[in-house]
Structure formats: structure tokens, C-alpha cells
Structure 1
């Protein structure tokens, strides 16, 4: 048989690593050989000196929180960063994705503008929003994001316990995940007010006004609600190891709870918030170095399910307005360009994580938890999505070269001891280590498992 593409090299399968080759036909993995030199293809890719991972999936991306970013810049950053699929958050400006009309418009935009494959989150309105879940789930939302902290009463509201229970019950019917930004709104609002009244507006005050108890108390409540609703719960951007310890306790009780952390919580500490100021501000905040080490121990022990960017691309002026008062700066930082090499360098090369575990925390577990069809593994029948890493080619991160419109990162000038050799989506090389070779519209909308329609059959 003559394949469209054949890739040979070190291949990371779900439970083992082999030196073999992959035959690709029609954008799918048709065969995996444990030897090399037996398959023929129209295109032959030799990745012998590199490592072939399943395409990385970033489950936490904000393409439209800043309308100046959008899908083209976001997904271009993903392609260049080795990310083959993103799941874009629903807290868009000017309107959140909490109704079917807004959702379908966004689906159309994905098919016109995305460079990489894209799944979409749904959310619910501040009050009585659960009634929209059926339509959004059946239209292809892969999961639903809600919050216990109010960033904006319309776009990013705090959801009441009553409406959380209604949403969880409804999501259980669709076997979809209820995911939460989990911070204690009442405590944080009071602390920020107190800090500003007392003129405590230095960078570290952002962390001090959001102490770990504001995360753990919110998570505890959500896990108890999840227990009684018998619903799947996911906690996004966990910043503290005690939160993970509590999650493990509830897992042992049978609660269906999973958790992610983000690359900044593993690679930065509150000292970097002091050093970089608004550039290193995110929610929840960076923690102490001992907390960072605690998260690493839990990650290596497979107590954290996956890692995301929480890609939040702000412009200079949105960050710099907090130069003299950290509370005025926008929260979040970009990451799609850099998460894969940063995490490979830190997890595999420095902490000794196995290649199989790295594949799970960067791809497989995301696809499994959210039920993303045909993604997350190198297996026959799956999409031919691959992130190929060169472990011997270092490069220096330069924020001016980020594909995101946000040219701000505290990792500017950091040397990473690996690089992205190729990003391949459905058998097509979309990034060759230097240039992006496809345009807007190559990426496709990937519906969630509750989708009622024909796209899953394509």
C-alpha cells in the first residue's frame, strides 16, 4: 500500500515507546509498524533524531477575552508551539458563549479562521442559565465552564449554588464535564478592598489578597456539590498543592473530579511576580517556591491530570496600567507558543518524567476527560496529529517573536533545551520548525461527544 505520508522515528504510544513508523491515509493513522523501512508514502518524513508525540491538546485557551487577539493569532501561536488542538473558553468579548446563536456563530468563525483544530467550551448565564445546556451540548460544546468568582457580572459571572446544581444535573444527562474557575469570591473581594484602602498595591499583594484558602474552600464546596449531583467535575488552573491533596481525598470517596494546573504554576513563583510585576499576574496567583515543588511532586505522582496554558493574551497597556497598582493590571499571560518546549524541558529533561507520562498530561488525558473524538493518542484510526520535538536543538524564547498578538512573557530570554521540529494535523505539516505552512480555515471545529449531527461522521 502507498500511504499519503509515512513518518519514522521514536514514537510515543499510550503505554510504550517504539522505534518504528506510521502510515497515514486520508488524515488518519492507518498503520503503526514496530520496524522502519517497510512503508512507502507519497511524503516521507524522517524524524529519527526526534520524538513523535500525539498532538498536544491545550484545554484552556482564551482567544476572545481580548478581542484584538482572535482565532487567527491564537491558533497560529498554537501551530508554532506544537499544539494541534485547542479548546477555546466561552468568556468572549463582547458576548459570552451561553446561548445557541452565539455558539453557532463561533463555530462558523472557527471553520473560517482557525489554523489548528478547535473545540469549544460553553457556559451559562448568571441566573437560570442551565436551560441553555441542552442546545449547546447538542451543537457540539465539549464541556461547560463556570465560576465561583465574579470577574464580570455578564461575561464572566459568579454562579450561585442553586444554578450550579441545576447545571451539574443537566450536564450529567449529556455525560459532559462541569469545569470551574474555583476561587472564593466573598473573601477575595473583601481582601482586595482592604489591601487597596491600606495602600498595599505592590505586586506580591496580588497573591496575598488571594491566599490558598480562597482556592481550597471554593474547591471543597464544588466537590461536595458534585458528590450529590453525581456529576463530572473539573477544576481548572489549580495553583496550590493542598487543593490537589483535597481532590485526591474526594476521588477516593468516588467523586468524579479531575484537575489541571498551568505551566506558570510549575515554572514560576511569587518571587517572579515581584520581579516582573503585571507581566506575571494571573488568577489564581503565583505561589511560594515550596508550593511549586509540591505541585511538581503531585504531577510526577500522576495526581494532576493535565497541564494547560490558560492562554490570556493582553496588550502592553492592559498590563502596564497596573505598574503602580497591581490590582489594576489585567490577569493572565500568553502561552501557546511556548508551553510544549518549556514543559518538555522542565518535566522530561530536568525532572525525569517518562515520555509516556508527558504524552498523557499534554494530550491523552485532555482528550479522555473531555471526550474529544479521535484525538490524544497515536493509535490506528485516530487523527494523524503529531507534535514532534527535537530534544537536542535548544532555542531562546523571545517575546517579540510570539505569534500571539500579546508580546509579553516572563520567559523572555529563557533558553529551552529542545524545540518544536514539526506540528502535524491530520497528516499535514502545518509548522516545519520555522514557518507555518497553512492558512486560516485549515483548522476545523471538533464537536464534543454530545453532538447531534453529521460532523462526527466526517
Structure 2
């Protein structure tokens, strides 16, 4: 009988079912999956008994360098603690966005020696005349490209004009990568914010009121039509409203290659949390009405949403609270890479809204498939031995002061969660043992995108 480097036992979450079984791991890869926990022999054995062994979770929407104080080393540590074995870092870095192959390659080099878990990198384009960098960045390893219809910053996070979007979509087809979009209608939003501020309507709820659902749906509708005519593979990030999902599903039926994600906060928070917590619950797009949240869960449960992400944005609390008396002065975004999995395991699986198999699809299998990440996302032979182990019988209490991110705040502070991450394993090696990080920076790797040469 073959003896493996490592045998992992427990409730294995496969693509279609959960089995109490075992896996044989060799050279960081899964080499055998058995429904008999005692069938496999290993030099080392980890028996997690009745805990769930999920395929390692993948967070495709993370901003390490929107706040340069955070950085990839800190984010990678927070990812491991949060059960995320691979994350995608967004391209809107400070001071320079990742919109040129030379900047992209410099960022890849910067990752060396800093990672605990594996990382993919997004690329983007400049506001004008930037599409010539798409193919070079794709060949250098960009996993996908993120663009915006809303202007956060004219240089770092610009609104891409429509002719450039259509051109970019056509070029991305040549390398078969996905065009992802922050989809908000800036013309409406900017006008409404200006009017609200002139009238001193700067209370927390004003953030949602100046970004009504039409500002999301109108931007998405335009992008869907562009994708229809270009044949592009489109991905809509951080969808906040069920109407957006309905539009996406309508265009899918017309043959448009479109996928979408929502974030944990659009499932677990609503506008009343924004009213109560102010800047601590401010992100773009904003949280919505309670009935919208309920309908987002309905879309999720009926498999109309492909992925759930964190949109990790690690502002320091003092930065966020600059908007204490004027919500528009607070930067948008929450820390989330450390909280995504435990919050949704409690609010989804333990609440009976998602099965463990659905949970694995949304947070592991579909992210890997949508973005064509080889060897990730499944418990299957020849896949990477990336696992997140969760014990449903234990509890976790969120303490924002102990978050690994430099952002020491969350609207979920002191929330008691059902379930505990007891181990995070990347390519057959434990990186987090449920209490401590147990590998050195540098173990994690840069994972090139599917068009890399």
C-alpha cells in the first residue's frame, strides 16, 4: 500500500457531496481521495474527525495597497488566519496603479519573501490610451483586469471612458481573460452628493440615498450591452442589489459571458447598520434596505451569484472616523479578508441558508473556475492540497482590536460566531494551526494567470 507524505481525514467537502473520508497528499498535491478514512497510510496523519475540510478558500477581491500601511505581508497573514489560501490583489495601488507591464513586474518582484498564502494579481488600464498594456500584462501573469465606470481618483482609480472600455473588452478576448468592473453611475452620484452637501444632509444614511440602486443597475446594463456586442467575458464586482442580478441573468440567457460576485456585507448588513454605525459600515456600493438583503440571499440560494468576496479595504479606524460628522468625508470600504469565511460560515452554513457544498462552490470552486486558476478550488486528484478546516462545534468571538489587519474595526465587533477555523493548509503545509501562523513569509507563491507565458 502506498504511503503518502500526508493523510488528511475529516468531513471532506467535495464538489457534489460531503464524505467522511481521507486524502493522500504527495508533493503538495492531492493524489487520492477515499471515502474510507482508514484506507490511506501516511508519514504524517491529520485527523480532523467531524470538522469540515473545505477546499482552500479564494478571495478574489482584496485591496492590499489602497492603504500602503497594510501591504501584502500583513494581508497574507490575515488571509491565513481567516482560512483564505489564495487571494487576488486589486490593481489600485498607492501611489501608482498597476496599469503598465513594468509596474506589474515590479509588483511581482515585490511579493517575493512576503507571502504566507498564494496570491494572484489583477491588472488595470490608464484612463486614456492604456489598452496597449493589456496583452503585455496578461503575458506577465495578470489573472484578470479591473476597470471602473466610477471615478474614485482620476489617476489611481479612474472612470474609463466608454470607447476605451469597448476597446479593452475586445483586446481581452485575445488573451481569454475576464474584464471586471466596479459598476456605478458617477454622473448621478456626484450630482446627488453635491446637492446633499449643499443642504447639509451629511448623516450616515445619506451615503445610501446618494447611491440609489439605479446608479448600480444603469452602469451594469451598459456593460452588459458592451459585452453582448464584443463577446467579452464580463465580471461584475460587489453587486449590492437583487435587480442587478436579474439584469445579469437576463443577459446570460442571451449568451453573454457574464459572472458576478457579492460581498459578505451585502448579505449580513443593511442600511440600519449604516445608520447606527456610520463610517464603520460605509462601503461602495452602499448597504441596502432589509428586503433587498433578503432578496440577495434568495439569489444566492438559487445559484444566481457566482462568488462571494471580502472587498478587503484596510483603512485605519482614525481614517474612517474622519467622516463621523459628515459621512461623505469617510473613505469607503471595510477590512474583510480575515472575516469573510467565519462570518459567512456562521451566517450561511450554520444558519441553514447554504449547504457546505454550496459554501465551497461560492468561496473556492467558482472563483477558481471563473478566473481560470489551475489546480485550485476543488478537493480532487492532482489539485493543490489547499484546505480550510472548520469545526462547527466551536465558537469564535470577533474582537476588532485583535484583527490582524491594520484596520482595527468591523461592524461585527463582539459578534459570536458558530464555527472556528482550526487549520489553514496551503499546498500540503499548515500555515495556520488555529492559534498561530506556523510558516515564514515566503512560503506563499505568486500564481500567474492563465495567459502567462
TM-score range, shorter chain: over 0.9
Instruction: Report what 1:274 is aligned to.
Output: 275
In structure 1, C-alpha distance between the alignment counterparts of 2:95 and 2:441, rounded to whole Å? 22
Instruction: Report what 1:400 is aligned to.
Output: 401
Instruction: Report what 1:40 is aligned to.
Output: 41
Tell me which moved more, 338-347 or 380-389. Answer: 338-347
SS state at 1:358 partner: helix
SS state at 1:78 partner: helix
Deviation at 1:398, TM superposition (A): 0.4
Deviation at 1:38, TM superposition (A): 2.0
Instruction: Report what 1:455 is aligned to.
Output: none
SS state at 1:357 partner: helix
1:139-288 matches, cutoff 5 A: 139-288=140-289
Do structure 1's residue 364 and structure 2's residue 378 form an aligned pair?
no
Deviations 1:180-232 (A, max 9, x none): 00000110110110010000000000000000000000000000000000000
In structure 1, C-alpha distance between the alignment counterparts of 2:352 and 2:241, rounded to whole Å? 19
Instruction: Report what 1:456 is aligned to.
Output: none
Q: Which runs of 4+ in 1 moved over 2 A?
A: none
Deviations 1:215-250 (A, max 9, x none): 000000000000000000000000000000111111
1:72–1:113 contact (8 Å) kept in structure 2: yes
1:93-172 matches, cutoff 5 A: 93-172=94-173
In structure 2, C-alpha distance between the alignment counterparts of 1:217 and 1:350, rounded to whole Å? 33
Deviation at 1:39, TM superposition (A): 1.5
The answer for unaligned runs of 5 or more in structure 2 is none
Instruction: Report what 1:432 is aligned to.
Output: 433
SS state at 1:435 partner: coil
In structure 2, C-alpha distance between the alignment counterparts of 1:267 and 1:353, rounded to whole Å? 14
In structure 2, C-alpha distance between the alignment counterparts of 1:131 and 1:318, rounded to whole Å? 36
Deviation at 1:16, TM superposition (A): 1.7
Deviation at 1:63, TM superposition (A): 0.3
SS state at 2:431 partner: strand
Instruction: Report what 1:351 is aligned to.
Output: 352
1:316–1:406 contact (8 Å) kept in structure 2: yes
1:110–1:443 contact (8 Å) kept in structure 2: no
In structure 1, C-alpha distance between the alignment counterparts of 2:384 and 2:229, rounded to whole Å? 37
Deviation at 1:317, TM superposition (A): 2.0
In structure 1, C-alpha distance between the alignment counterparts of 2:165 and 2:441, rounded to whole Å? 36
SS state at 1:418 partner: strand
In structure 1, C-alpha distance between the alignment counterparts of 2:196 and 2:311, rounded to whole Å? 26
CA RMSD in angstroms comes to 0.7
Deviation at 1:143, TM superposition (A): 0.4
Deviations 1:393-421 (A, max 9, x none): 01110011111111010010000010101
Deviation at 1:295, TM superposition (A): 0.2
Deviation at 1:130, TM superposition (A): 0.8
In structure 1, C-alpha distance between the alignment counterparts of 2:110 and 2:421, rounded to whole Å? 27
Instruction: Report what 1:30 is aligned to.
Output: 31
In structure 2, C-alpha distance between the alignment counterparts of 1:172 and 1:165, rounded to whole Å? 11
Instruction: Report what 2:22 is aligned to.
Output: 21
1:254-333 matches, cutoff 5 A: 254-333=255-334
Deviation at 1:266, TM superposition (A): 0.2
**TM-score, normalization by structure 1:** 0.98
SS state at 2:350 partner: helix
Tell me which moved more, 415-424 or 345-354. Answer: 345-354
Instruction: Report what 1:450 is aligned to.
Output: 451
Matched residues, number? 452
Deviation at 1:352, TM superposition (A): 3.5
The answer for unaligned runs of 5 or more in structure 1 is 453-458
In structure 1, C-alpha distance between the alignment counterparts of 2:205 and 2:299, rounded to whole Å? 25
**TM-score, normalization by structure 2:** 0.99
Instruction: Report what 1:419 is aligned to.
Output: 420
